Amino acid sequence: MTAWRILVAAAIVGVALVLRVPLEASPVTHMLVQMPGLALAGALLAPHSPEQAGWNRGGAASLLAAVFTAAFWMLPRSVDAAVSVPLVDAAKFATLPLLVGMPLVIGWSRAHPLLRGFLKAQALSMLGILAFLYTHAPVRICNSYLVEDQFRLGIGFLAVAIALALLWTAPLLVGEATRPQAGLPAGAG
């Protein structure tokens, strides 16, 4: 792990701590800026070793930890508690880097491409469901935020889902440059 990655991760967590009150004032910045930023800090700290640990063969254990922790922090009750209970907010600052960001990077490199595709599809569908929920709920889902705030959050979830879908499908649509097959001349393939 390089020193610049540690410095960038520390800077992200530091900014999230210093700007905690303004970031948590809106659900959009809380859930779409602060929380992913904390996970990114953990991702930067993840060791990049190609070895396969027996307990994490195929990345399953670390990916499960990341998925379940992220699912917990998507719950409106967890978001409310993070805003109103300091101990839960401290848990957010610890668990998002250590149980989402780091395990996601560790497991992703070891995961089978089919599992990666499944997790991408799951992420897009979950963002779509959250977008629908937050834009169509007739009552406040998070008690810490107004109905207008949760509507904006739903639009934000939809924008993130569209952006990720485009980012993940663009390489499939563009394709790779043609390269000659092994053992054949460049024009014979």
**pLDDT one-digit tens code per residue, 97-109:** 999 999 999 999 8
Compute the distance between CA of residue 158 and CA of residue 152 in angstroms, rounded to an integer.
Answer: 10
**Digit-coded pLDDT (tens) for 74-121:** 988 999 999 999 999 999 999 999 999 999 999 998 899 999 999 999
Compute the distance between CA of residue 32 and CA of residue 157 in angstroms, rounded to an integer.
Answer: 8
> How much is the average pLDDT of 158-177?
88
Using CB atoms within 10 A of its CB, is residue 72 exposed (0-12), middle (13-18) or buried (19+)?
middle
Residue length of the chain: 189
Q: How far lies 79's CA from each of 92, 119, 168, in Å?
A: 9, 23, 28
User: Rounded to two decimals, what is the model's pTM?
Assistant: 0.84
Residue 115 near residue 59 (C-beta atoms within 8 A): yes
Q: Domain extents for the chain?
A: 3-47+60-172
Compute the distance between CA of residue 61 and CA of residue 153 in angstroms, rounded to an integer.
Answer: 31
Q: Model confidence at 172, in pLDDT bands (50, 70, 90)?
A: confident
Tokens representing residue 130 in the block: 């959250």
